């Protein structure tokens, strides 16, 4: 049952898997292509760029908002993660998304639920070292959402660079009939990559957080100027972050963009990836240099 | 490339995932329903009953033959498993199956393949105790085949009672848009459940193998006559098998058909399940008593 204000909306909010399956089955019979934009809510312009891509590149865009507990470790920020659902709905309506799937935990993980995905090997590196259960949670929920929406195209952001690689490999390995499209990182005018977690930052922390994109700017410039010594480049990246005042660095590396293996001496294309804490907030950013 | 004799067939043999995806995508655009019959080859009347069901209950039946290595343990019979592909093709053609997907190992598990399914909890019991990696292999390959064929309906045999439960739960947990239909066990006139492994049996072993279905007949009769003592029933089942000369019993139990939990005192419905070795051949059989 929708509340009175939900009935007034131009976007239809779907809360159960059964309802979604009925909708999708009808759309498929009518030969419509479906684009899905999986999110955890707390939507910003990065998410909305994915939603706009889905609206323009497929017949029917379906956004999903599900704050998936299985991709958070017990010490992480699941309980404080921002959940402004009314604002999210208004934003999606605004960019012309016709359907939002916003299920409960029980709907996604009903009693007796016990199947999961062992994510591909590439999930073990980087994020996998610091968040060892994260990608199993991501892979399982993304597979569920792709199956539920029977999406022809799934839209994901390049900010989660490794996540995109994990999802692409899972889809290839399991022969999921969905194409993945990756949209560029959206940034504030000063360079800060948009993140739902940016709201955690104090004014001073936000200033420090800028060091991630500035470090990526700097290393890109150096590599474009001919720097090929990976160790030197990484050492400088770490130093810039520390000098700016980040509290700890999970990783600041240069890697091959298809394998995430160490790229030293640097060969193009290369991806620079950073994960660092500013206060209690964990931020990530990356840059592909072709 | 097909060999000359393959071009003469009324059944089209598909060897690559790409070809299958193109076929399925065309069929789906035309609004056809697809039924899949996943097999490991060495087809017998049990498999053919599934193929006939797929032919009659869906627009397009696709049989698959793939001797999946990941569901065999190193000590099991992968290398001796019968592979009479020409005979299998003729049988499928005969029952009117229009498409056979028969991929190579490399096609299903290309270099870098590294995603898999953790099968649902119900996979831990019975077969899971004796073949601990079996259902992970089954779940992963079945999910791949359902995705590749985008099947509306998947046809499976009740002989693999627990396998059907594992697949049904996986499909529910991962929201796979495929319905599972289960076809009854097909038996020889003397009661032996059909199995590709029956060809391993010597004449004497085949006589001993009959004890599985006879034990199921006996316990069914006893339960229908009012026996409710599960321990007594199971003890008698084991004794019948041993007296007949089976070499070892993995399990001979009575369970709740929806949970596989112990059913003692016996409550209907109940399923009797047996796995036993006759010589080196592992045989399974079961009976649901409503």
Question: How do the domains of chain B map onto residue ranges?
Answer: 4-183, 196-289
Q: Is the pLDDT of residue A3 over 70?
A: no
Query: Is A116's Cβ below 8 Å from some Cβ in B?
Result: yes
Q: Can you say how many angstroms the Cα of residue A117 is from the centroid of all Cα atoms in its chain? A: 18
pLDDT at B83: 80
Instruction: Give the span between the Cα atoms of B163 and B136, in whole angstroms.
Output: 11
Pairing of strands B270-278, B281-289: antiparallel
Pairing of strands A248-255, A270-278: antiparallel
The CATH class of the A4-183 domain is alpha beta
Span A78-89, mean pLDDT? 90
Q: Is the pLDDT of residue B142 over 80?
A: yes
B95's tokens: 């029952």
Q: Which CATH architecture has domain A196-289?
A: 2-Layer Sandwich (3.30)
Query: Is A176's Cβ below 8 Å from some Cβ in B?
Result: yes
Query: Is A115's Cβ below 8 Å from some Cβ in B?
Result: yes
Beta carbons of A119 and B115 less than 8 Å apart: yes
Q: How far apart, in Å, are the Cα atoms of A141 and each of A170, B175, B177? A: 12, 10, 15
For residue A10, give the nearest of A89, A88, A83 by alpha carbon.
Answer: A89
Span B3-11, mean pLDDT? 73
- The distance of A148 to chain B (nearest Cα, Å) reads 6
Instruction: Give the span between the Cα atoms of B136 and B116, in whole angstroms.
Output: 7
- The distance of B134 to chain A (nearest Cα, Å) reads 15
Is the pTM above the cut of 0.90?
yes
Rounded to the nearest integer, the mean pLDDT of chain A is: 96
Residues in B closer than 8 angstroms to A174, CB to CB, are 115, 117, 140, 143-144, 147
Q: Which residue of B has its CA nearest to A116?
A: B118
**Residues forming beta bridges with residue B274, ordered by sequence position:** B252, B285
- The distance of A264 to chain B (nearest Cα, Å) reads 22
Q: Is the pLDDT of residue B55 over 60?
A: yes
Query: Is B107's Cβ below 8 Å from some Cβ in A?
Result: no
Q: Which residue of A has its CA nearest to B114?
A: A120
B123's tokens: 């996979």
Q: Which residue of B has its CA nearest to A107?
A: B173
* Cα-based angle B190, B37, B196 (whole degrees, multiple of 5): 35
pLDDT at B230: 97
Instruction: Give catalytic residue positions of B.
Output: 47
Q: Per-residue confidence at B4, pLDDT binned at 50, 70, 90?
A: low
Cis ω before A265 (30° cut-off from 0): yes
Q: How many CA atoms within 13 Å lie on the side-chain side of B264?
A: 11
pLDDT in tens, A123-180: 999 999 999 999 999 999 999 999 999 999 999 999 999 999 999 999 999 999 999 9
Q: Which of B33, B173, B259 to mutate to test the interface with A (most CBs of A within 10 A)?
A: B173
A44 catalytic residue (yes or no): no
Q: Is the pLDDT of residue B1 over 60?
A: no
Q: Is the pLDDT of residue A249 over 80?
A: yes
Query: Is A21's Cβ below 8 Å from some Cβ in B?
Result: yes
pLDDT at A107: 98
For residue A257, the 8-state DSSP code is: T
Instruction: Give the span between the Cα atoms of A15 and A35, in whole angstroms.
Output: 18
Asked if B34 contacts B9 with a C-beta cutoff of 8 angstroms, the reply is no
Beta carbons of A117 and B118 less than 8 Å apart: yes
Instruction: Give the span between the Cα atoms of A71 and B240, in whole angstroms.
Output: 51
Query: Is B177's Cβ below 8 Å from some Cβ in A?
Result: yes
pLDDT at A43: 97
Query: Is B283's Cβ below 8 Å from some Cβ in A?
Result: no
Percent of chain B with pLDDT over 90: 94
């Amino acid at each position: 049952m929708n509340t009175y204000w939900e009935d007034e909306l131009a976007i239809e909010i779907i809360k159960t898997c059964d309802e979604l399956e009925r909708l999708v089955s009808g759309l498929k019979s009518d030969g419509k292509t479906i684009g899905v934009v999986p999110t955890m809510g707390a939507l910003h312009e990065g998410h909305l760029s994915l939603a706009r891509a889905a609206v323009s590149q497929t017949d029917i865009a379906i956004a999903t908002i599900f704050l998936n507990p299985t991709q958070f470790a017990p010490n992480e920020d699941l309980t404080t993660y921002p959940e402004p659902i009314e604002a999210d709905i208004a934003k999606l309506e605004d960019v012309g998304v016709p359907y939002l799937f916003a299920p409960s935990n029980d709907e996604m993980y009903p009693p007796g639920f016990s199947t999961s995905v062992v994510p591909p090997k590439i999930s073990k590196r980087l994020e996998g070292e610091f968040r060892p259960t994260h990608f199993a949670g991501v892979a399982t929920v993304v597979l569920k959402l792709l199956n539920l929406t029977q999406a022809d195209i799934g839209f994901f952001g390049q900010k989660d660079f490794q996540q995109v690689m994990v999802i692409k490999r899972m889809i290839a390995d399991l022969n999921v009939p969905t194409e993945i499209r990756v949209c560029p990182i959206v940034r504030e005018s000063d360079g800060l990559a948009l993140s739902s977690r940016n709201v955690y930052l104090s004014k001073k922390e936000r200033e420090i957080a800028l060091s991630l994109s500035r470090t990526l700017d700097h290393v890109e410039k150096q590599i474009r100027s001919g720097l090929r010594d990976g160790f030197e480049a990484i050492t400088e990246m770490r130093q810039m972050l520390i000098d700016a005042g980040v509290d700890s660095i999970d990783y600041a590396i240069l890697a091959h963009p298809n394998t995430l293996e160490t790229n030293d001496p640097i060969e193009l294309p290369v991806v620079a990836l950073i994960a660092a804490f500013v206060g209690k907030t964990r931020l990530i950013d990356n840059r592909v240099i072709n």
